[in-house]
Amino acid sequence: MGETLGESLFKTRRMLEAAGDEHAEVSAEWLLEWVAGKTRAELHRDAEEPLDLAKRMQLMAATARRCAGEPLQYITGSAPFRRFEIACEPGVLIPRPETELLVELALAALDGRVGAGGSARVLDLCTGTGCIACAIAAEREGAEVWASDVAPEAVALAGRNAEALGVTGRVHMLEGDLAEVVPRSLHGTFDLVVSNPPYVPSRVVDELPAEVRGHEPRLALDGGADGLSVVRRIVRESPKLLAPGGTLALELFEDHVDEACELVESARDAEGGPAFAKVRMERDLAGRPRFLLAERASARAVSDPLELVCEVASGLARGEVAIIPTDSVYGIGCAMGAEGALARIFELKGRERSQALPLVLGDVEDLARYAKDLAPSARRLAERFWPGALTLVVRASSAVPEAFCAADGTVGLRVPDHAFVRALCAALGRPLALTSANLHGEPPARSIEELDPQLKATVDWVVDGGPAPLGVASTVVDATGPHLRILRAGAIREEDLLRAIP
């Protein structure tokens, strides 16, 4: 008769004890459970059951690896995490029990925001095995999760775990450094940013048990001199990723949670206001400070826009994007010449780059500078309806950068009948590239309340000028040919346009 389960368990435990395994009994049971395909209770119940030769050989090989200090999770290829089995492999950090509590806290934050069955967007940074991302998606069917990691082997393993748990349709893997690979169109839309980043101080990494420092990837452990190198970046990037009221949830080194809380409390958004509110610390199962949670502060609306003309102009000159009121509807725009900001607007709106944004001028006299070969009838329309809700499509002069022209060399120009916009152009010293502040195909916003939350949360400036006086988009007229042609009906009626042209 071959060796029984009980005998194999006894022999394995003795070998591990001799090798210095401090938890030899647990390790032996773990290995035999894996080899025999039984639970711990079944091992002891079936102690007299024989273990065949092939499985004894498998157990011997696994025991030799464990005696050499290799983590059990790498040997067996998996680790329990909440109510799931998560695949593990060398080169990717092994999930810890503490991180299960991070998921618990994250789920509670989501439930408080959208309800247990509500739809939510989640971003998991430094995903590793994907245990956080997959658990959240599996436990909340309304959650859609994006998970990033700089290590390609981690991204591949996380993808396999998502497939094994049946959540591939709602877990999107991104290979790259933190939020750098998150599509800009998703910025400002996440209900939760969660991370178990590298947070062990460098000096402490060298003092970790040999089983950890000798086998698990240092990249996933080492958080720099104070353990906060990656945490600082996450805190810096999270305000632009989270929707107002969304939650930042981090697992941290126990000695540095207070310092991390100070980082979050001192963080500022693009407008200079506090980026986070309700910052708090939570403890792990051993009672040690371990987790940080904070809520993204609501966007600050500007109540006195004329007083902030210079501030907004300075931001636009740096390449920022603003939502501002006009006489017709709310617009989203950037400074002419700021090509990065222009690309950002197209991405945010989901609009084709071939469709150039209109340029907003500060004065009627600017028409001659930015248009060429202008017909007399077009000049008469500008003199009659500017400032006002009329956009003239003209042939662009050399003063308009190529990136701000349509493919055929044309550009839309208008001078809104709105003091803030004209003052902003004057302070900036150049036109604004401005389009309606709405997603492509959606109705324009006539007030701050009608703005799409994604746009509102993602831009750098939101200027509240009250309801737009007209509440209707401008009338667009093609003035590139010998005869004027209405391209889009709007605030100015066709008969009024015709009466203005002799």
Residues 182-231 pLDDT 10s: 887 788 889 999 999 998 988 898 888 888 888 888 988 888 888 899 99
Q: Sort residue 464 into left (φ over 0), alpha (ψ -120 to 50) or beta.
A: beta
Structure tokens at 363: 């004065």
Given a contact cutoff of 8 angstroms between Cβ atoms, the answer to whether 325 and 305 are in contact is: yes
| 392 burial level (CB within 10 Å; 0-12, 13-18, 19+) | buried
Give the pLDDT score at 245: 84
How far apart, in Å, are the Cα atoms of 370 and each of 225, 341, 373, 499?
Answer: 54, 20, 11, 26
Given a contact cutoff of 8 angstroms between Cβ atoms, the answer to whether 285 and 236 are in contact is: no
Question: pTM of whole model > 0.85?
Answer: no
Helix (H, G, I), strand (E, B) or coil at 128: coil
CA dihedral 250, 254, 257, 258 (to 10 degrees): 170
* Separation of alpha carbons 77 and 55, rounded Å: 16
Spans of the chain below 50 pLDDT:
301-302
Given a contact cutoff of 8 angstroms between Cβ atoms, the answer to whether 448 and 462 are in contact is: yes
Rg (CA), the chain: 30
Question: Cα 23 to chain center, whole Å?
Answer: 41
Give the pLDDT score at 270: 62
Q: How many residues does the chain have?
A: 502
* Separation of alpha carbons 380 and 388, rounded Å: 13
Q: Which residue carries 């028409």 as its tokens?
A: 367
Strand partners, 433: 334, 359
In 150-273, DSSP assigns E strands to: 171-175, 190-195, 242-251
Helix 152-164 to helix 131-139 angle (10° resolution) is 20
* Separation of alpha carbons 449 and 441, rounded Å: 18
Give the pLDDT score at 302: 47
Of 149, 147, 119, residue with least CA distance to 135: 147
Name, in order, each residue with C-beta under 8 angstroms of 83's C-beta and a sequence gap of 6 or more: none
